[in-house]
Amino acid sequence: MIDLKDRVVIVTGAGGGLGRAHALLFAQHGAKVVVNDLGGTTQGEGASSAAADKVVAEIQAAGGTAVANYNSVTDGDAIVKTAVDAFGRVDVVVNNAGILRDTTFHKMTDADWDLVYKVHVEGAYKVTRAAWPLMREQGFGRVIFTASTSGIYGNFGQSNYGMAKLGLYGLTRTLAIEGAKFNIKVNAIAPTGGTRMTEGLIPPQLFEALKPELVSPLVVYLGSPACEDSSGLYEVGGGWVGRTRWEQSQGACFNPQGFSVEELAAQWGAINDFSGATHPKDNMEAIGKLVAHLQKQA
C-alpha cells in the first residue's frame, strides 16, 4: 500500500484533465492536496475559480482533504503559500499546468512563443523554486515535471510547446543531481491522455481509451517515498508505462590535432551507427569516449 497520509501535494492545473485525475488519486492515498488551477482556456485565455473548486469538492465528497488555489503557476510563491497556510508543509510538487498555442514556426508570433514558455517553463520553475527550500530543510521532496512526446520526438506545429516540454526534462536532470543529498527525487513524465487539450486531435475511439486516470498511478508512485529513482523520463498512457533514455553511438575517432570535413564525411556512417551504443547517465559518462580517445593518443 502506497500510504501518503500527512503528505502535502501541490498539483498545478488540477482543475481538469490529467491534473484532476492526479489530485483525486493522491487524495485517495491519504495525501492533503492543493488543487491549483487558473481556470482558463486551452490557449491560455481567461480565468475562473470554478475548475479548482469542483475538484476540491470531489475530493472532499470522497472523504479526502484538499484546498483550492487559483493563481497562475507563474505566481509560484502564492501557490506554495496556500499549501503552507493550509497544511504546514510541501512534500510533492506535480508541475502539470499547461496550454497550447499550436502554429507552424513560420507563423509563430512572439506572443505564442512567450506564453507557452511562461506557463510550462517559467510556471514550473516558479512553483518548484518556491517549494525547494522547504524540501531541502525537511530532507524530503518529490518533484514531477510534465514533459511531452512532442518535446522528445518533435511534432508539426508545436515548436514552442516542444521547446518548453524538453526544457523541462533538462531541468529535471539537473534538479535530480542537486536534490540528491536532500532526498529530493525529480522525474519527468511524457503522458498521453484524452483531455480537452487532445480532443479533436486524437481519433475518438483512441481518445476514449486514453483515460487520464491511466496516467495517475505513475505520478502518485513518483510522488511517494517508495520511489527512489530520480532523473527519469517516463512515457505513459492507455495503461502502458515505459522509460526513455539517451543513447550515444560508439562514434568515430579523428586526429585530435585537427581533421577535415572530408574525413568526417567519410565516417558519417559510423557516427550514426547505433550498434554497440551506450547510455550515458551523467556528464562524465557522456564525455568518456572522447577522454578515452585523447588518452590513447597521448
**Options 70, 161, 169, 234, the catalytic residue:** 161
Q: Hey, what's the cell of 186? A: 525529480
What whole-number distance in Å separates Cα of residue 166 and Cα of residue 153? 9
Q: Name residues whose C-beta falls within 8 Å of residue 59's C-beta, 6 or more positions apart in sequence.
A: 23, 24, 27, 33, 35, 65, 66
Q: How far is CA 185 from the centre of its chain?
A: 13
Contact flag: residue 188 with ligand NAI (CB under 6 A): no
Residue 143 lies near ligand NAI (rule: CB under 6 A): no
Q: Phi and psi (nearest 5°) for 53?
A: -60, -40
Q: Under the criterion CB under 6 A, does residue 162 sit at the interface with ligand NAI?
A: no
Cα→Cα distances 170→71, 90, 151, 173, 257, Å: 25, 23, 11, 5, 32
Task: Tell the smallest beta-carbon distance from residue 23 to ligand NAI (Å).
Answer: 11
Pick the closer one to ligand NAI by CB: 95 or 140. 95
Residue in 196, 243, 245, 281 binding ligand NAI, rule: CB under 6 A? 196
Does 18 participate in binding ligand NAI (rule CB under 6 A)?
yes
For ligand NAI, the closer CB: 18 or 24 = 18
Residue 18, CA atoms < 13 Å, CB-side half-sphere? 30
Contact between 158 and ligand NAI per CB under 6 A: no
**CB 77 to ligand NAI: min, Å:** 13
Contact 68, 127 (CB under 8 A): no
**Is 244 a binder of ligand NAI (CB under 6 A)?**
no
Nearest residue to the partner ligand NAI, using Cβ: 17
* Closest residue by Cα to residue 222 from 256, 280, 172, 178: 172
Whether 161 is catalytic is yes
Question: How many amino acids of this chain bind ligand NAI (CB under 6 A)?
Answer: 32
Nearer to ligand NAI, 19 or 179 (CB): 19
Instruction: With residue 261 as reference, give the H or E element that holds it.
Output: helix 261-266
Q: Closest approach of Cβ 65 to ligand NAI, in Å?
A: 21
Per-position x/- string for 79-108, each x denoting binding to ligand NAI as judged by CB under 6 A, each - no binding: -----------------xxxx---------
Candidates 141, 162, 179, 193; binder of ligand NAI (CB under 6 A) is: 193
**Cα 71 to chain center, whole Å?**
19
Q: Active-site positions? A: 161
